[in-house]
Chain A
Amino acid sequence: MKPSPLHALVAALGALGVFSLWTGLGASRVEAADDGPLVAHSVCEAHELEARKAADPSLQIEIPQEFASPWPSRAACLSHTAAEDASTPGPVQPIPFSHKHHAGLFQIDCQYCHTGTDRSRAAGVPSVQLCMGCHSQFPPTYDELAGIRTLKQHWEEKKTIEWEQIYRLPEYVKFQHRAHVQRGVACQTCHGPIEEMDKVYMTSDTVWWPWLLPAHKPEMGWCIDCHRRNGATQDCQACHY
């Protein structure tokens, strides 16, 4: 896949995001830093300050007891912030869920949450119960993350989460997840480097036909190209009925 202008854009936006995050934290400290040590107001800030102190030992920091906790981890804090950042590509989800954190850092298998993807046409979206399966066991300090609070609220109210759909095909296209998963097609083939995304967006991919026509993902030509290269079926009825 060649790097495209969109990739450059994504990279730029990503950088911008990280930068703003850094300055943001910086600002909060500046206020506190008039006199006396820098005081953390949350576990996430505590992580930040420790990182700063590691960088320059002269820095005076104070971490109240209630915030002196390893959880949520610094990675979790950063992912969470990045996932709710509207300036990066992709829609802001009702819960700032980070695939990077779960699939990337923790290496949770895609099908652990997206169950039935290997048996069904649809890739299942995990139920609230499944999320709570892990998250109910986490220490209360996690609740400082807004996403966790929303999740627990949904669970208590038994309310469904309405995720924004990103990969969406017309009714007359019957994409079969199971067929692809069974053939061992990696999720990333179509969904891009999902394990590197804090906030999921549709990565762009383009195939150039010999007659110099672009077929963009997820247009039909893009599917056909892959099917041709891999000798998969090109029967129209495989997808259209």
Chain B
Amino acid sequence: MHDQPVPLIALVDVTRRFPGVLALDGVSLELAAGEVHALVGENGAGKSTLINIVCGLLAPDSGKLLLSGKPVAWSSPVDARHDGIAAVHQEAELFATLSVAENMAWEQGLPVAAGGWIRWSQVFAAAEQAVNLLGDPIDVRQHAARLSVAQRHMTQIAAAVQQRARVLVLDEPTSALTAGETAWLFRQIRRLQSAGVGILYVSHRQEEIFELADRITVLRDGRMVWSGPAKTIDRDGLIAQMVGRGGTTSARTAPLRQPQHGLLRLQIDRLSAADGRFTDISLGVRAGEIVGIYGLIGSGRSELAQTIFGLRTAAGGSVRIDGRPVAIASPAQAVAADLAYLPEDRLHQGIFRGLSVRANMVVSALGRMQRGWLTSSARERQATAAELSKLGIKCRDAEQPIGELSGGNQQKVVLGRWLLTRPAVLILDEPTRGVDVGAKAEIHRILRTLANEGTAIVLVSSDLPEVMENSDRVVVFRAGRVAGTFDPAHSTAEQVAAASLPDEALRSGAPVGSPRRTRAVRPWRSEVALAAAVCALIGLLIGTTDSFLTADNLWGLLATTALWTILSLGAAVIILAGAIDISLGSLLALSAGVGGLVLKLPYSPWLTIPAGIAAALATGAAGGFFNAAVSLWGRVHPIVVTLGAMTIYRGLLIALTGGAAITGLPGPFVRWSTGRYWGVNASALLGAVAAIGVYLWLAHFRGGRCVVAYGASPTAARLVGISHARAWLSAFAVGGVLAALAGVLELSQTGSLQSTTGRGYELQAIAAAVIGGVSISGGRGSVGGVCLGALLISLIHNTLVLWQVSANYETLVAGAMLLIAVLADLAWRRFER
């Protein structure tokens, strides 16, 4: 084997250390062209670290990474991709609010012309081509949020396939796929293999490994413990290598079954989900019984569990526990009814990473450990200690943060949490997902013990061997209905699997997605509603006042709109990046103040005007830059930074001006904004130029697109090499410049600057942006919408003036607007979901 040609990629003696842990310890690995190399190991063995090094997310501390024999040092996934490494990560991270095509394009590095201009036609053409590979009609222009989990994985894989990579890294690619989709994936892998692509394949699923792999490498505790051709090892041998001790395989054989079952503890009768994920489910579980629920992802099995537990709403049917009918509307009620649910996603739904093992363990059973109204640490410690020893949890002590434990031990703590509530019915959703083999066997043993003690257990899993070996009865879900019930002792895994598959999938092997929604996207909806509101207000103004349609009023309205447009765009750019800046009003005033002081210098206006404007814009940029830099470097949420910066900028302004107003600005500067050019008000022209500039930057230049993409998903952004620092620094700097521009405009329009100028402007600008359809959580919004939002704000100010409403109502109206905008944003997000 060592005489083979130069391997595509080789790791030589690679070591990577994290504080307190040696993640990889002198690991060497080679991947040849046309080879499928499976990487296996328990959780925490170093697989993720290794593939992160291979795809450029991490750099090794020592050792070499050779690409076709030449050493490489990548600083980001982008470098690796450039050298032909494509990766599909386990959790498909997507930019939910960006189109499918753009998502695929970011994976491969956005095609840009000189100056960062994005070639959109190329983006869409490439995406169409990749999707054609799938044989599943996916509209590449729709938001990625509308794809099902399987579709997300499939598009990522298709993009990677199409990329003509030399090395493809697949990290648990089948965890969300159906059998049909898995078959498609395997065909693609074989095709790539014959084309000479090297494939690094990480999976927990033994069957897949033995079906696909040419070579297997086993990692344990950061070291390579075995490596060789797949033919030379069998399943038991592989497990022994992974676990590093003999005898664990016996735990996977059939457990002790308790034939005599007691009373009916859980009884579900014709239960349906409100959202149609499952219909008409009836199921009974007796004391001492373990009922396995098997089905594909999206077949409704997790949804059923979560409905019983009060996390989702039921549409009809009833649930009885120990014969009592229970109406469960919340998890708290479920726990009160002696029900427990171990969630499928440990990291996000299970553990409190920063809290201690004890706090994690007792959180659901605090009521049992109180002393009167107060909590009792002694009782909590006692209960925790009992569970720790009963479940064999390895940790330093009960006060150790749970985040420091291995996956298996974390899962056992979550299991212990539910055992402390002494449930009559225990529902476990994928209890051994991402758990190493040793812990898996122990969890299975614990389940059987619990059942023998009289608990009714529901085991939801997509791991077929697990369901077959541990259940007394297997219920198969298919498309939200019960497709059959099997006795695992008298049926085969093939029968059960066949029942879970939709008929067409069996015949054609075509990809089968989970139920998908086909509702059309209407991206213009919010703008249309807003435009209607603007028109209605204008109509009202024309009807109730004589002075609205006068030229003076309209030009004035246009000038105000320009000001608000510029400032709101500044707020919007920062919100798009997933941040917020409440110092914009102060920054506007400070920039205008700096500009005003320069303008008043005793030189020719032809010198001071450009210098003053430049100084103002530079101040704005610097202020924005400062906000972003402190927030990034200090890892402090922008709201805190900009809350402090708000007083700092205001304070600097007062320190600069001594608290006095700035007046007596040069005539040409003041006259400029009210003058007309080509028949149009100069303020309006400036506003239009700013809006077009921001639009072009956000939609057609890589720099602006990075800002939007980062706001859409910071995690996905990191994977495709978008720098957090650059996204925020540019967004805040552009926001600051726009605030400064608005300040200059205000200075020119009013001819003076008070120390209170701009106070509260940031709230109205944020309101205009959010009303204009910018999602407060980042990543979605349009320049046109923001302009409409700014127009609405200006119209409201105009209304107050024309109706001669007292200034005391101005804040109220602005506040009400912001509140309505926020509520509308919420309604919009609910609608999208």
On whether the two chains bind one another, the answer is no
A interface vs B, CB < 8 Å? none
